[in-house]
């Protein structure tokens, strides 16, 4: 894969993002942990708040990461910003009109989805553990951990709009494969998560009842 930027430029964008917005990275992580625990304990009572949170997080990625920072080194980031914005709107629409209930899938999908959600929270520390030095490293609130969290939660929903999975699956392959070229080992999980959600959604569309 030929990228329009160097690894140094790619990680330099994360350094700029983290220096400018590190309080938001911490705030997003704390908010994600809080709403995730609430949804786990009471899916019926807090799943809607989880969906609103995801909508806000995707909107943040569209504006604060893709449009503000990533466009400096990659013109395609404008397209990514648009896709993330569309996903934010679809999630907000689902929060308003649809009663998605997380952690309602069968045992295997529920376990896999919850594991991916926890992995998304651990993502920043795992990335540093693989040798990427802060601040030139992805933190919570940027696209890849956002996508992993979203994929994990969608895997735990029984039913729900299939359209919500389109952008997360696309980013699982686009963002995951590009990041792997750049040596972000934690994104092997992103590729696997995107593939898993694609397979599950095809089975659900075929009426397999999972």
The residue ranges of every structural domain in the chain are 7-205
Please give the model's pTM, rounded to 2 decimal places.
0.96
178-185 average pLDDT score: 87
The confidence band for 209, taking pLDDT boundaries of 50, 70 and 90, is low
**The pLDDT of residue 112 is above 90:** yes
* Residue 88: per-residue pLDDT: 98
* Residue 185: per-residue pLDDT: 93
Q: What share of the chain is helix, strand, coil (3-state, %, to 5)?
A: 75, 0, 25
192 three-class SS = helix
**The pLDDT of residue 161 is above 90:** no
- Please name the residues in contact with 138: beta carbons below 8 A apart, sequence gap of 6 or more: 14, 123, 124, 127, 132, 144, 145, 184, 186
CA angle 26, 13, 58 (to 5 degrees): 55
Instruction: Dump pLDDT digits (tens) for 71-81.
Output: 999 999 999 99
The confidence band for 160, taking pLDDT boundaries of 50, 70 and 90, is confident
- Please name the residues in contact with 126: beta carbons below 8 A apart, sequence gap of 6 or more: 119, 186
**The pLDDT of residue 1 is above 90:** no
**The pLDDT of residue 30 is above 90:** yes
**The pLDDT of residue 146 is above 90:** yes
Share of the chain above pLDDT 90, in %: 85
140-162 average pLDDT score: 93
**The pLDDT of residue 210 is above 90:** no
**The pLDDT of residue 176 is above 90:** no
């Amino acid at each position: 894969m030929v990228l329009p930027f160097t690894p140094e430029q790619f990680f330099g964008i994360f350094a700029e993002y983290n220096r400018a917005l590190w309080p938001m990275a911490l705030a997003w992580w704390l908010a994600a942990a809080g709403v995730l625990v609430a949804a786990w304990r009471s899916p019926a009572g807090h799943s809607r708040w989880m969906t609103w949170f995801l909508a806000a997080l995707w909107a943040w990625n569209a504006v604060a990461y893709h449009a503000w920072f990533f466009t400096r080194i990659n013109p395609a980031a404008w397209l990514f910003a648009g896709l993330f914005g569309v996903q934010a709107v679809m999630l907000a629409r689902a929060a308003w009109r649809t009663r998605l209930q997380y952690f309602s899938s069968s045992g295997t999908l529920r376990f896999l989805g919850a594991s991916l959600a926890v992995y998304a929270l651990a993502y920043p520390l795992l990335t540093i553990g693989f040798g990427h030095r802060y601040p030139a490293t992805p933190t919570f609130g940027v696209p890849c951990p956002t996508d992993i969290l979203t994929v994990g939660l969608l895997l735990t929903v029984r039913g729900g709009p299939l359209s919500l999975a389109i952008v997360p699956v696309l980013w699982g392959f686009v963002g995951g494969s590009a990041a792997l070229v750049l040596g972000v080992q934690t994104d092997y999980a992103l590729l696997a998560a995107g593939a898993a959600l694609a397979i599950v959604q095809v089975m659900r569309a075929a009426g397999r009842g999972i």
